[in-house]
Structure 1
Amino acid sequence: MERYEQRILRVVDYIHNHPSGDLSLDALADVAALSRFHFHRVFHAVTGETTAQTVRRLRMNKASYALAMTSTPLPRVARDVGYDNVASFTRAFRESFGMSPAAFRQRGEWRPFYRNPPKEMTMTQPVDIRQEPARRLACIAHRGAYHDIGQAFEKLYTLMVTRQLGSHAGQMIGVYYDDPSAVPLADLRSHAGFVLPDDIPIAAPLEEVILPAGRQAVLTHVGPYAGLPAAYDQLFALWLPKSAEEPGHSPTFEVYLNSPMEVSQEDLRTEIHLPLLDLQPKD
């Protein structure tokens, strides 16, 4: 946990010291020395706050100090905390403090801008570390809310039937590239896929996706799919920081061991796979 805390604190320091700099997810992932696929899930799960919320909070805290304790002109305050114009800064400041920057300056009081701590969690799902094989998937791409990926699976299933690939199909898998708390719903990227052997052709509109072999943390979620977001939070907030493991450089994916057509919602079994770095020294 201490290792991950130090990385998060490094990110907080970076945001505080560079409020007008590049605070994109990729830039902050580099500061944290974490995979861009998993940085934001780790940050959000550990802090209970998205990076966007942290950036705004620290920017507003810095701006409020400048307004209350210095005579720096308002346009300069806005630029110093990363806002190109006074109008957008004023809007963000009012949303945070309930008053305009001018009114805040006139009041002349400054207090740190705190937030409520996140709710405590406990692990309710088992996690195993496995050496997993590479998986070759025949996929349909989906863009948008993850809970709408069923449409892509329906298209995929139809193509598997019309091309007589059903007898060759292995596991049904969903690959998820983005963190829903960091990316707008309309821009979330995912793939709906079935495992296929190497000797079976994959032709458009199907796409081939290769999930690399390697060590993976596997959380087995039992119950409705609606419980999966909480399972991800447990994996990234509780298990990963205490595991001495490092997330790898490929996306998380879900393996569906059964389906709502076969069992009740309470008996659904879904594996969440988190790729891990191989931390063993090389000979």
Structure 2
Amino acid sequence: MSQQQISYRKRIDRVVNYIYDHLDEPIDLQHLADVACMSPYHWHRVYRAIQGETIAATVKRLRLHRAAGQLAQSKISIEEIAERSGYCSLAAFTRAFTQVYGQPPAQYRRAGSHTRLQSAIERGEGQLFPVEIKTIEPMTLIGLPHQGDYMNIGRVFEPVFGWMGQAGLLPQMRHAMATYYDDPDSVPEADLRSFAGAVFAATVDVPDHFESRTIEGGRYAVLRYRGAYAEMSTAYRWLYGTWLNNSGVELRDAPCVEDYLNNPREVAPSELLTDIYMPLADE
């Protein structure tokens, strides 16, 4: 990657970090040109060319992703969530949310798949998700660490995918993965540790500030999850609470890994596919 490409990449990364830090505030798209230190005449074209979507689409996607998490996992009022998401009225927020998530916010909170799955877990229902035991070889994950709310891991996925796109490495990517080191039910949100990156089919040149982590080889229970990332915690509860208790297997001292099989920019949240890898001891 040329020095000019690296310069543009750093500018885009500054903008993405700014958006994450200011999701609760009005985001002036012209001000983002100042954050990127670029002319407002060219800023939007450069961003779209590098990121593959408009800046407005990025802001909307990240705000609605956070809103879905707040609806599924908190008791924050829908009116407050709408205001935090930058919508001037509840009606405008409801239209935007329904367009992306397929149902109005109130219905999503009351009867989304997270509530149906939790009820099924409480009733002790059996095979809610497909699970397959696999043995894999060690893999090298190249990317960036993240600390804080797991729902915000996209904050580091954005520069990882931006780098791959600019360097022409997307055809060589085998997996887009993240490793999660802490239990969000027992570790304070601010202290949660994770790592997001990609596994490649061949050796690639890595930017200086990127890191590599080894995903251990061995046996894993692999759960195939379909749906919004905001609702995935329910799948974890079923995997650990129901499937594990009935499986006769033992856990191994290694972190869980998620393998993201499609792109949230290209498919609806309900169609996102994720493989959750839970490490198992040898037989």
TM-score range, shorter chain: 0.5 to 0.7
Offset of residue 203 of structure 1: 4.1
Alignment correspondent of 1:268: 272
* Equivalent-residue separation in structure 1 for 2:206 and 2:124 (angstroms): 43
Matched, 1:142 2:150: no
Task: Find 2:240's aligned residue among 208, 224, 236.
Answer: 236
Is the CA contact 1:136–1:198 (under 8 Å) kept in the aligned structure 2?
no
* Equivalent-residue separation in structure 1 for 2:177 and 2:124 (angstroms): 27
Is the CA contact 1:136–1:197 (under 8 Å) kept in the aligned structure 2?
no
Query: Which runs of 5 or more residues in structure 1 are unaligned?
Result: 1-117
Q: Secondary structure at the match of 1:247?
A: coil
2:219 maps to amino acid: R
Deviations 1:37-85 (A, max 9, x none): xxxxxxxxxxxxxxxxxxxxxxxxxxxxxxxxxxxxxxxxxxxxxxxxx
Task: Find 1:250's aligned residue among 251, 254, 274.
Answer: 254
Task: Find 1:210's aligned residue among 210, 214, 230.
Answer: 214
Q: Secondary structure at the match of 1:204?
A: coil
* Equivalent-residue separation in structure 1 for 2:176 and 2:124 (angstroms): 30
Is the CA contact 2:144–2:211 (under 8 Å) kept in the aligned structure 1?
yes
Offset of residue 121 of structure 1: 4.2
Is the CA contact 2:172–2:202 (under 8 Å) kept in the aligned structure 1?
no
Q: Name segments (4+ residues, structure 1) moved above 6 Å.
A: none
Alignment RMSD (CA, Å)? 1.7
Q: 1:266 to 1:125 in 2, by over 3 A?
A: same
Look at both structures and tell me which one has the larger radius of gyration over its CA atoms.
Answer: 1
Q: Which has the larger helix fraction?
A: 2
* Equivalent-residue separation in structure 2 for 1:197 and 1:205 (angstroms): 21
Deviations 1:221-257 (A, max 9, x none): 1111122100000000011111111111211011111
Is the CA contact 1:121–1:234 (under 8 Å) kept in the aligned structure 2?
no
Is the CA contact 1:174–1:253 (under 8 Å) kept in the aligned structure 2?
yes
The TM-score, its normalising length taken from structure 2, stands at 0.54
Superposed, 1:1-150 pairs within 5 Å as 119-122=122-125, 123-150=127-154
Superposed, 1:179-218 pairs within 5 Å as 179-197=183-201, 199-218=203-222
Deviations 1:106-150 (A, max 9, x none): xxxxxxxxxxxx944434111110112221111111000000011
Matched, 1:220 2:231: no
Query: Which runs of 5 or more residues in structure 2 are unaligned?
Result: 1-120
Offset of residue 162 of structure 1: 3.5
2:244 maps to amino acid: L
2:250 maps to amino acid: E
* Equivalent-residue separation in structure 1 for 2:240 and 2:225 (angstroms): 14
* Equivalent-residue separation in structure 2 for 1:204 and 1:255 (angstroms): 24
Task: Find 2:158's aligned residue among 154, 175, 179.
Answer: 154
* Equivalent-residue separation in structure 1 for 2:166 and 2:268 (angstroms): 28
Alignment correspondent of 1:75: none
Is the CA contact 2:131–2:224 (under 8 Å) kept in the aligned structure 1?
yes
Q: Secondary structure at the match of 1:171?
A: strand
The TM-score, its normalising length taken from structure 1, stands at 0.54
Alignment correspondent of 1:165: 169
Offset of residue 274 of structure 1: 0.5
